[in-house]
Amino acid sequence: MSTGSGKSSYDIDSSEVRVHAVTNLEKDLSLWETMKIYRWATFWSFVMCCTIIMDGYDGNMVPSFYALPVFQKKYGVQLPSGDWTIEAKWQTAFLVGVPIGRIIGGLGVALLADKFGRKKVTIGSLACMIGITFLVFFATGKEMLCAGWVISGVIWGVFNTMAPTYVSEVCPIKLRSLLVAIINLSWVAGQFISTGVVTGTSTRTDDWAYRVPLAVQWAFPVILIPLLCFAPESPWWHVRRGDIEKARNALSRLADGSKIDLDAHIQHMIQTDNEEDKSGTFAEIFKGSDLHRTEICAMAYAIQPLSGANIINFFAFFFQLTGIPQDIIFKLTLGLTGLGFLATLLSSIPLARLGRRTVMLSGLFVLTVTLFAMGILGCFSSKGTNWATAILLFVWTGTYDLSVGPVAFVIYAESSSVRLRSKSIAFASVISNLVSLIFNIAVPYMLNEGEANMRGLVGFVYGPICVLCFIWVWFRLPELKGLSYMEADRLFQGEKPEKLGEHSQDYGPV
């Protein structure tokens, strides 16, 4: 299947009919038939997404420590009332380290992934995570903790780029949205595990109240590294390198070769690759039709923190500020993360039945109403309004994890071109983490008792931003549901929707 020069021996010009047959077959198969044929692609996508669990776990764990009395007394200051709290500047320092690290990791991983492949880069990063956890676990001061979380952020930046890149490349059209949405499920699963562990140790009066949650981080790479050693590399990566035989072998490990035409699928990859400009530098994501695609990738991912996702990390601290009793704070937080997990599982239904635009617009509308209602309640201070605010946080969590959270990953994985996917997703990750960085600096000052002490009034900060996000989605986000990567390329290049075949639909703004 390959020559000494690495060039394909496939006759691309004579394969047009077979290539279109591949696309139409993927669209016509039922979901269950697709899962049976691509059962190994489903499995390895799930394993790759599990790397994101570590990010969700740690991202939720760190601010949960702010409500732990042991952690407050060791690293905090005493207020005039006699209570202990972590100073806003250190809350900020602990939290901004992670997005700073993610930005560094996101920028660097695109080049490494294109050179060494998605699999090797992920395994190497998991190995590094084992050593980094030692630094955090044995930290003797706030400075060491902060440094450890910055370095951890670099690795999570790698995972946040590699997981959606790998999943979007190995999955067929029918499964792409569902499996990419597992990334959000992995985030929520990490938050749920973290909340459960912290809740279980919160009654301890020694350092193990927070050291046990830190130690649990070692479990993830120990489990994932052996599994990923057996995972196939992305066939798209092999095709772009000219290793056609390796691409075919990888595809045969992802799909049932007796049920699909492997050679036709490889031809489809080659033709898609050949139709795109071979250059793939970071500068290319800002040129021509790729500029709009880059905008979509970046905005879809940035909408998550813009719509209030950073509040998730402060649930326990937020409940403490609203006056809810200490003994049920972590139980409420566990309930919230459990709701988020359930909502993410159910998100497969709207993602499969509705367009991405519809899901995003509907989610943003409900989030906007919820946030403004939270802001109004924040104008009053009573036991009733405190509990009403808690209920609205449940509404926000359920809505976010049913819509905006998972669909954002689907949109930015589908909208990037094949040749620039790792770079586009890396850039989107950088933009999203820059936004998160801003809010991770601002939110502690907005909530801290010694600073603004806004409590529910933060809804008036995020509500108007959600309105702006809604407007952007309405005017700038096209509908890509059901399109192959070749069809998406042609759509962004200006081809009329009716020429994209019998599966045409309302594509929205392009």
pLDDT tens sequence across 340-366: 889 988 988 888 888 889 999 999 999
- Given a contact cutoff of 8 angstroms between Cβ atoms, the answer to whether 244 and 238 are in contact is yes
Assign 77 to helix, strand or coil: strand
Query: What is the pLDDT at residue 26?
Result: 62
Find the helix or strand (DSSP H, E) in which 84 lies: strand 84-85
3-state helix, strand, coil in the chain (%, to 5): 75, 0, 20
Q: Is the pLDDT of residue 13 over 50?
A: no
In angstroms, the Cα distances linking 247 to 151, 171, 266 are 34, 14, 7
- Given a contact cutoff of 8 angstroms between Cβ atoms, the answer to whether 52 and 186 are in contact is yes
Length of the chain, please? 510
CATH number assigned to the domain comprising residue 94: 1.20.1250.20
Structural domain contains residue 7? no
Query: What is the pLDDT at residue 40?
Result: 92
Each residue's pLDDT tens digit, 460-483: 999 999 999 999 999 998 888 877
Mean pLDDT value of segment 6-33: 57
Each residue's pLDDT tens digit, 272-316: 777 665 556 778 888 888 889 999 999 999 999 999 887 776 666
Q: pLDDT > 90: what percent of the chain? A: 22
CA distance 280 to 228: 27
CA angle 63, 68, 72 (to 5 degrees): 90
Structural domain contains residue 505? no
Domain that holds residue 178: 15-500
Structural domain contains residue 85? yes
Structural domain contains residue 173? yes
Query: What is the pLDDT at residue 496?
Result: 55
CA distance 226 to 239: 26
Highest mean pLDDT among 122-126, 313-317, 422-426: 122-126
Query: What is the pLDDT at residue 367?
Result: 96
Highest mean pLDDT among 14-18, 41-45, 363-367, 437-441: 363-367
CA distance 174 to 179: 10
- Given a contact cutoff of 8 angstroms between Cβ atoms, the answer to whether 208 and 429 are in contact is no
Structural domain contains residue 437? yes
Each residue's pLDDT tens digit, 224-282: 999 999 999 999 899 888 889 999 999 999 988 777 778 888 887 887 777 665 556 77
Query: What is the pLDDT at residue 265?
Result: 81
Structural domain contains residue 303? yes
Write the DSSP assignment of 152-170 as a string of letters. HHHHHHHHHHHHHHHHHHH
Structural domain contains residue 469? yes
Residue with tokens 């050179």: 115
Q: Is the pLDDT of residue 10 over 50?
A: no
Confidence of residue 11 (pLDDT cuts 50, 70, 90): very low
Query: What is the pLDDT at residue 501?
Result: 44
Structural domain contains residue 4? no
Each residue's pLDDT tens digit, 370-396: 999 988 987 877 777 777 887 888 899
CA distance 143 to 163: 30
| pTM listed for this prediction | 0.74
Query: Across the chain, how many H-helices and E-strands are there?
Result: 25, 2
Least confident of 81-95, 285-299, 319-333, 408-422: 319-333
Q: How many structural domains is the chain composed of?
A: 1
